[in-house]
Amino acid sequence: MTNTYSTLQKGSIFLTKFPFTNLRQTKIRPVVVLRHNIVYDDVIVAAISSVAKRHNFSDTILISSSEKNFSKTGLKKQSVILTNKIVTINKNRLFHKLGNLPDFYLDELDH
């Protein structure tokens, strides 16, 4: 799916090569769009991980597979949004749209 302005809305979930903190390595992982800066074609994204038990829950938002709209996320299993792993990248680094977060989670991202 092409990264058009309509697909780059808050809550859109994409795959990208997410950078490690050393900026030398990347890992393909899902991310959620937090904001799209149209002027620079940058997006602010938060990493998503399916390994929930390894993370500090004060820095995460659980995306429960039992949520009735979970299938709309495009994620394969229960995951967490890593609110402490946020980066700004060019929109062209988003290479595959998986889905969208249900509205319930958008409210949690604002807090």
Which amino acid, one-letter code, is at 16? T
- Answer yes or no: is pLDDT of 1 > 50: no
- Token reading at 100: 């969208």
pLDDT by residue (tens digit) across 78-104?
999 999 999 999 999 999 999 999 988
- Answer yes or no: is pLDDT of 19 > 70: yes
43 CB-near residues (< 8 Å, 6+ apart): 8, 33, 34, 35, 36, 37, 88, 89, 90, 91, 94
Please give the CATH number for the structural domain made up of 12-109. 2.30.30.110
Instruction: Give the domain ranges of the chain.
Output: 12-109
- Answer yes or no: is pLDDT of 23 > 80: no
Q: Note the pTM of the prediction, 2 decimals.
A: 0.88
Q: How confident is the model at residue 48 (pLDDT cuts 50, 70, 90)?
A: very high
92 CB-near residues (< 8 Å, 6+ apart): 3, 41
